[in-house]
């Protein structure tokens, strides 16, 4: 358990450093490479924080034969002394006529194991609560909805249902993804809603939400994880708007923004809904979303190549650093010695 906790702490620290770096360059990155780049690099942070990698760096040292012999003799002496004292009780000291016993007590290793147990139990409890909430949410939506009878150009795997429980559309369900549409939506609005939700579905944003949920459960002690999750929610919607807007003319973009504004004015903020992608969110990000819709432009080939290179360098460097740190925790550096017999 102690080793697992150490690896989790390393992953949390390394992931936090990469997130802070990406968060710091966000204004420039979004303006230069687009919102999708920021979104997918954030997802890479989640993967780094969940995938432990160990890298050993061999350190080749040439030592004389005599030094190795002395080193081995010293090691044998230390081991013999340790074996002699291992079975004895802690020495007692006498002070003012009374014996003072120094108990073995809670060692550092036991303390780490205890902390590991607390971490694991807390993570499992949080994951259990969120899973139950999600299951109850899906059950409620299923019971309070009916199949949508209108025509939509949606993929076959994406079911469509109509409900009066929500006032804004959303997609939920991993095994059986379903688009839930509120009542009172006009035909023109429906067209833009379908485009938006199809983009979420094709990009696999539901799985990204689940990945963020698992990361929050594993790294529940790290406050930056919650900021990362909020950033992913925001960039998910902005990048989806960006992708949809690239296929729209200026007049269609205005109609698309009007649809989003109409849904927002219905008065329901769906941020509290678990593991679902929705077309509207908080009012604070609406200005940024509208700016992205109005100014969305395709990223050129040169910028695309630079963005891929930059993301690769950042991610690979972080993964390597995480692997080296994990390897050093696991067993120290994998140093070996070459004996010089001359």
**pLDDT at 205 (0 to 100):** 93
pTM of the model: 0.79
Report CA-CA distances (Å) from 215 to 157, 219, 256: 27, 6, 33
Beta-strand pair 145-147/159-163: antiparallel
CA–CA distance, 180 with 233 (Å, rounded to integer): 19
Mean pLDDT of 305-312: 95
CA–CA distance, 168 with 250 (Å, rounded to integer): 24
Provide CB contacts within 8 A for 158, sequence distance 6+.
171, 177, 178, 179, 197, 198, 201
**pLDDT at 203 (0 to 100):** 93
On whether the CB atoms of residues 181 and 169 are closer than 8 A, the answer is yes
- Residues listed for the chain: 342
Task: Write the pLDDT tens digit of every residue in 4-46.
Answer: 888 899 999 999 999 999 999 999 999 999 999 999 999 999 9
Task: Write the pLDDT tens digit of every residue in 109-153.
Answer: 788 888 999 999 999 999 999 999 999 999 999 999 999 887 777
CA–CA distance, 42 with 74 (Å, rounded to integer): 51
DSSP 8-state class, residue 37: H
CA–CA distance, 119 with 58 (Å, rounded to integer): 33
CA–CA distance, 299 with 292 (Å, rounded to integer): 13
CA–CA distance, 170 with 5 (Å, rounded to integer): 37
Task: Write the pLDDT tens digit of every residue in 232-251.
Answer: 999 999 999 999 999 999 99
On whether the CB atoms of residues 212 and 164 are closer than 8 A, the answer is no
Report CA-CA distances (Å) from 21 to 35, 216, 234, 269, 319: 16, 19, 17, 30, 14
Count of other CB atoms within 10 angstroms of residue 247? 11
On whether the CB atoms of residues 255 and 290 are closer than 8 A, the answer is no
């Amino acid at each position: 358990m102690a080793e697992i906790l150490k690896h989790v702490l390393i992953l949390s620290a390394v992931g936090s450093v990469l997130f802070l770096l990406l968060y710091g360059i966000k204004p420039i990155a979004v303006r230069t490479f687009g919102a999708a780049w920021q979104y997918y690099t954030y997802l890479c942070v989640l993967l780094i924080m969940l995938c432990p990698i160990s890298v050993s760096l061999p350190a080749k040292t040439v030592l004389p034969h005599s030094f190795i012999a002395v080193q081995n003799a010293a090691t044998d002496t230390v081991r013999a002394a340790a074996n002699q004292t291992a079975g004895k009780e802690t020495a007692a000291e006498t002070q003012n006529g009374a014996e003072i016993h120094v108990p073995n007590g809670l060692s550092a290793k036991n303390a780490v194991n205890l902390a590991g147990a607390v971490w694991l139990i807390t993570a499992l409890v949080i994951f259990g609560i969120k899973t139950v909430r999600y299951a109850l949410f899906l059950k409620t939506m299923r019971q309070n909805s009916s199949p949508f009878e209108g025509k939509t150009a949606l993929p076959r795997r994406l079911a469509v249902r109509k409900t009066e429980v929500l006032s804004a559309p959303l997609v939920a369900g991993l095994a059986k993804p379903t688009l839930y549409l509120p009542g009172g939506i006009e035909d023109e609005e429906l067209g833009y809603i379908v485009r938006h939700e199809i983009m979420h579905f094709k990009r696999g944003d539901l799985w990204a939400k689940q990945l963020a949920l698992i990361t929050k459960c594993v790294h529940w002690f790290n406050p930056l994880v919650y900021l990362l999750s909020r950033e992913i929610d925001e960039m998910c919607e902005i990048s989806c708007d960006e992708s949809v807007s690239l296929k729209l003319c200026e007049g269609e973009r205005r109609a698309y923004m009007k649809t989003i504004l109409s849904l927002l004015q219905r008065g329901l903020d769906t941020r509290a809904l678990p593991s679902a992608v929705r077309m509207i969110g908080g009012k604070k990000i609406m200005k940024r979303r509208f700016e992205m819709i109005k100014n969305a432009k395709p990223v050129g080939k040169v910028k695309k190549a630079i963005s891929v290179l930059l993301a690769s360098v950042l991610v690979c460097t972080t993964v390597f650093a995480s692997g080296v740190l994990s390897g050093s925790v696991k067993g120290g550096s994998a140093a070996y010695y070459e004996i010089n017999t001359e």
